[in-house]
Structure 1
């Protein structure tokens, strides 16, 4: 039997069957006894009628069916107790009593109340909507103490999954009229159970600091109120073990394994101490790499020629996968649809190498019957299907399906994306099931500025990376700031005409009223572009651009030099240009996970109409490597650009300028040619620019949960050549020759929730007297 207290906690206690049996037996005293000679006596009862009292919602026939006692039936005391237990077990009644009255059996019941409403009190981290989706109890349904307790446990588990292991949930009821109750869950959320310390035992090659950077779980640091990854989540530890294994496998440690993960709860129950016990093993490299063909039409020598694996390279499973992908791509070009590449690896413990033999075989004739996409309420099916390199009717290749799954997840449109293959309508048919869960992909941001001269300004930006579910990216910018008004529309189609071709559209207009230059600007831009792959690591961009720009006299009418006045006198200038850019990027598919290289080269040819003609050439190369067991990162970058006019001359706004990211130690436009005529001192930029930067990033010995590391840099930069502007009457240009500036400095990197910040302290080793030096600057850290 269940008892409840008004405004009190729900309690659930049932009377013991033996007690109920004794009560029934006592109440049946004086009834007919049937005895058998030479045996212990037993009682049996016979009732002429059965009466049910107290039921309002439950039909009498339903209760009698649970009791299982018919009129005139002879029953024993044990059978009466069984009838009572069956009625109680139905879960429909708060109390049940069976009372014999002569030849009538009376069953008194009190029905459970109905739930009037459900409320949650004390919850801040989880909103009511999220909790309502967890609980089983619902308004207008019969209240169940058992379900209430289960709901309380489910809510506590939801908090535990967020790292709040000390959360407590107490269900309470408030009695209302008409046998109704309000069900209230009183919640004490408690504090996050943070990860106080992550230790790793058994690692010799890589330090704890390096391995902790790999893990998804993080130690509690200075910004623990903002960073959620320092919250203890047990499921995340499973992911961390896989991440550790992938890290070591990609570096040749094929025997690596995690032997145990220990998580010890602090006495205050507000923090965990986690220890990963690992065995690194030995690092292996590639030995002999060969190709053997068991497919008559496939020439092993031809397929071996496309391999880029060489003996002595550190072994990595991803390199083997890349080699298989190249050979299977070659097979498709040769029309060998069902060729399969099976790597057979031989281990050589003496010299720590792995011999890899790629066997070309003819796989089973299995075709893709269809591709089913589910869970996408906004995203169109074709957006997901475009990530597959196969369509219905093509030969089935498991590796291609795995790669498609990775591309679907990389879209950034889905919280989860599962891709599985199952047998279709026949053994030689396969159905690929894609189950996705969408997430928000749009953002709307507002900003404001204030100037004592112009007052307030408003900036609005809207961006959507999955516009109308088509996988297209759209960005609209409207800025009414006091000194910089910008209006722009950008559109990108990543699968133009259903192919691996990106189409870009750019339309914009801007007006500037700068405080650091003696002129204002107006400009408009219209651009179209196509980008497509040339090879595995290279892409080509083709573009057309129509630009309008003009320099106008500043509102404040400051002192201007003769060169700037001549630039303003040109008025509005139109330029039609065709251009291209070539990009080679080895960062994602290189042979060494610790090294990467990026090279970019592009040119723009203007002169298709308009009133100016020029060739603009730009090139950039960036390289990065990690040394000392990946504790220290070295980067080097070089950039050069040249602007050559064949019609007209360059203006100040056309030329290249060096900003903070190009050379540290100077203000933006702080170096280069300057116009000092008429008492002015205006940066003119240059038609030529060269930049070289070398830097190192290293740990400072601070706990890594602080997210602080150090760096050192050495920059060499120069911008020069204003072209025909030196011939302007009255021009007085200084710094027009190539003169390299040299800067050294130290950096502090700090990973914060608002972004990675970089603090630079610099010293110019070589400069010109007219340069504008800057000893300290703060910027957003740029990633290679």
Structure 2
């Protein structure tokens, strides 16, 4: 027989009413009964099967003189019901005896779940209190229904319905079946901001993690309502405003209301922004006599006149704490204080240095890491057990552990140690998946369609190692890459990477030759400060080029030393064949004027091995590496080839980008690029080691579309590149306001200008008598283009569509008005 959830509720109500009536009648009976009935000399138990009679009698505790008054009997009756062992309990007095008649709850034979697809049976069974071979209790089942509903609500399904059914079996046993109607996921129908004036809804939606439900919801999960995520969003909004000068900001409320008509939640964030402040005076006051405050001013990151930024204050406290500790005062405490000047919209910041209590870290406990090794977490601390306790350094460790992205949650707590000057630091973590399997696909007008399959692990075997293997295949290129990175080399904050790679590129309309590159490398990354990083690298690779068959016919061969070679190699005399092979041509007739002279000379040289070392310096103050709105990034690199191998060159490049919000939601970007390459050690720079001009410098031109080019009549007129280049870009981006925020669409307007010049490769080949007709090597010709672009952070990966019109070019340049590129991982 099945009993629904409403049936159980009804039975519970009836049972409660019935029990109350029984209590009342019984109490009245006892009160009116002679005193002999109140002195029960014997308790008789009836109806019990599994529970011993003595166990039931033990709940009746008479007072002095074996007297059982109404209060004692009433207490025993309630206690028996409270055990959950009995479906019904009745107490009567007859002939000086107390008769207790019980109806035991049945035993659960099995528990089954029907209709659950999003939650596994094992997961639900762990959450509920009812267990197979346990006692069936209607109250417990009612509680289990609530627990199951909670499981689904945590995954965003608020329309779930759970109905328990009871199937009675012989011998007082039952099967308990939970019928579950999971319902659809309950999404976020709308996100509303109230009170925001400085920043638009679009910008604030980019700050929070919760997104709105739309047609892209089938491939994302941030649009599912999660009250915990909403609380996180509330803190993210507050920190965002504090980073941008709004020191008085208050996120008054974050209210989520379910709207049946929308079948989703409407989340409303109410904000009181306040005024935007700048830093006024900055001072350091020290009560430690050996450390004058003015000696620490240069260690602060808060500069007068800059927009107020709470993050800079927090980092300044960390830097000051570390500096003071290095000077021999590990217990010193740095406390920031901000004095507001509302009229001038300034905050004067004072860092107070005091000698804090002498407290040591007795122990650091790490719990919850079932997979990640302890040392992977401990190495994020700048202090160890036995060191002086410093709250600023503990907060830095917490931030670093969260940034590892190995854990769903990270929580730091403290507790007293074994002595008053000892403290225990507890770190509670919850593991999350760190593996990645992806299939990527993309298309660009330069490389055509390309696909990639990769597998990666950010926390290999729980050791913190980063491993990745990928294979790419496309219409014009194919290759593979294997990499392994140790982020902490020899216990220091240095990252060592090992790479093995291979790539083949076929001939295209931009180049007449194909190339094959196979090799490997080592790289070392060292963070100098939070904003400055240093990297060193070594690469060794074998490089070979070839020509397609259409450039290898043997017609119209150029005479060599007065000898004309026939079409058929077999007809050549032995001397002719030797001469042929001396030139390195064997039976490949590619020196008949079709391919460009430098290409043929590279081909005659054969495969080469390139061995190079390099380093890089990066300065990065971007507020967001993915979608920056402010900050500066400068990347300088140098590579020296010739540490062994067949090729000698020195290349230097610099790339700088500056972002600034011009108007709300309108971000301007200025970019500058430059590079120089030269041969050394008596070796000329190969054609393949020159810089090529293309859309990476000036949009509106094809890959290798401008710069020095072979102008010899009858040849493929390959782009030869130059030893120097420069390029500048000015771009403005803004969201498409008519498109939903989750579409991630922006429009850009840009102007590019640049030049590539100074080809230094071969221009004459004495063995064939060929001379190169070189165009555009002076550097006086500047290319420029203007255009617009559509940027889409789509579910298929970042996509960009650019339409650029060259406004300054040469007649031999290869232009490309439309360019598209993008890809994804799924």
| TM-score bracket for this pair, using the shorter chain length | 0.7 to 0.9
1:699 aligns with 2:735: yes
Alignment correspondent of 2:533 = 539
1:777 has 2:807 as partner: no
Residue pair 1:203, 1:279 contacting (<8 A) in 2 also: yes
Q: 1:409-448 CA deviation, whole Å, 9 max, x = no partner?
A: 1112111122233332222222222222222222234679
Q: Name which of structure 1's ranges 249-258 and 117-126 shifts more when overlaid on structure 2.
A: 117-126
Which of residues 548, 551, 559 in structure 2 aligns to 1:554? 548
2:700 is aligned, of 639, 659, 665, to 665
**Partner residue of 1:568 out of 598, 603, 620:** 603
Selected match of 2:198 from 198, 202, 205 = 205
For 2:520, which of 505, 521, 526 is the aligned residue?
526
Question: 1:353 — aligned with what?
Answer: 346
1:632 lines up with 2:666 in the alignment: yes
**SS class of match (1:683):** coil
SS of match in other structure, 1:724: coil
Partners of 2:287 and 2:355 within 8 A in 1 = yes
Aligned to 1:469: 462
What's the CA shift string for 1:565-612, capped at 9, x where partnerless? 22111112122222221222222599xx95311112121222233222
CA 1:53–1:125 in 2, change beyond 3 Å: closer, same or farther? closer
Following superposition, the deviation at residue 405 of structure 1 comes to: 0.7
8 Å CA contact 2:796, 2:823 repeated in 1: no
Does residue 684 in structure 1 map to residue 726 in structure 2?
no
Q: Distance in 1 between matches of 2:42 and 2:208?
A: 75
User: How much does 1:404 deviate?
Assistant: 0.9
1:655 aligns with 2:704: no
2:759 paired with 1:722: yes
1:539 and 1:86 map into 2 onto residues whose CA distance is 69
Distance 1:172 1:649, change over 3 A: farther
Corresponding residue for 1:744?
786
Report what 1:586 is aligned to.
Answer: 621
Which residue of structure 2 lines up, in the alignment, with residue 411 of structure 1? 404
**Structure 1 61/713 Cα, relative in aligned 2: closer, same or farther at 3 Å?**
same
- The answer to whether the Cα contact below 8 Å between 2:541 and 2:610 also exists between their aligned partners in 1 is yes
**Cα 1:9/1:116, change in 2 over 3 Å:** farther
Give the stretch that moved more between structures: 258-267 or 411-420: 258-267
Contact 1:295–1:362 (8 Å) recurs in 2: yes
Number of residues paired by the alignment? Answer: 761
Residue 788 of structure 2 is aligned to residue 754 of structure 1: no
Query: Once the two structures are superposed, what CA deviation does each residue of 1:270-323 show, in whole Å capped at 9, x if it has no partner?
Result: 133333332222222222222333211112332224445433222222222333
How high is the TM-score relative to the length of structure 2? 0.83
- Whether the aligned pair in 2 keeps the contact of 1:191 and 1:270 (CA below 8 Å) is no
Q: Is the CA contact (8 Å cut-off) linking 2:2 and 2:167 kept in structure 1?
A: no
Give the aligned partner of residue 274 of structure 2: 281
The CA distance in 2 between the partners of 1:78 and 1:335, in whole Å, is 71
| Distance in 1 (alpha carbons) for counterparts of 2:131 and 2:351 | 61
SS of corresponding position for 2:369: coil
**What's the TM-score, normalizing by structure 1?**
0.87
Asked if the contact 2:505/2:515 (under 8 Å) is kept, the reply is yes
Give the deviation of 1:239 after TM superposition.
2.4
Q: Is the 8 A contact 1:4 1:10 kept in 2?
A: no
Matched, 1:595 2:630: yes
1:357 is displaced (CA, Å) by 2.5
Measured on the aligned residues, the alpha-carbon RMSD in Å equals 3.7
Give SS of 1:569's match: helix
**Structure 2 stretches of 5 or more lacking a match?**
444-448, 553-593
Counterpart in the other structure of 2:580 = none
CA contact (8 A) 2:442 2:823 kept: no
**Map of 1:453 onto structure 2:** none
Contact 1:114–1:141 at 8 Å: present in 2 too? yes
Contact 1:43 1:76 in 2 (8 A): no
* 8 A contact 2:37–2:96 mirrored in 1: no
Correspondence 1:169-208 to 2 at 5 A: 169-208=162-201
Q: Which residue does 2:772 correspond to in 1?
A: 731
Residue 133 of structure 1 aligns to a residue whose secondary structure is helix
The separation in 2 between residues aligned to 1:22 and 1:312, in whole angstroms, is: 79
1:641 equivalent to 2:675? Answer yes
Q: How does 1:101-120 map to 2 (within 5 A)?
A: 109-120=102-113
Structure-to-structure mapping, 1:388-427, within 5 angstroms? 388-427=381-420
Deviation, 1:74, is 8.5
Relative to structure 1, the CA distance from residue 725 to residue 160 in structure 2 (aligned partners, 3 Å threshold; closer, same or farther) is same
Counterparts of 2:361 and 2:132 in 1: how far apart (Å)? 48
Tell me if structure 2 keeps the 8 A contact 1:51–1:104: no
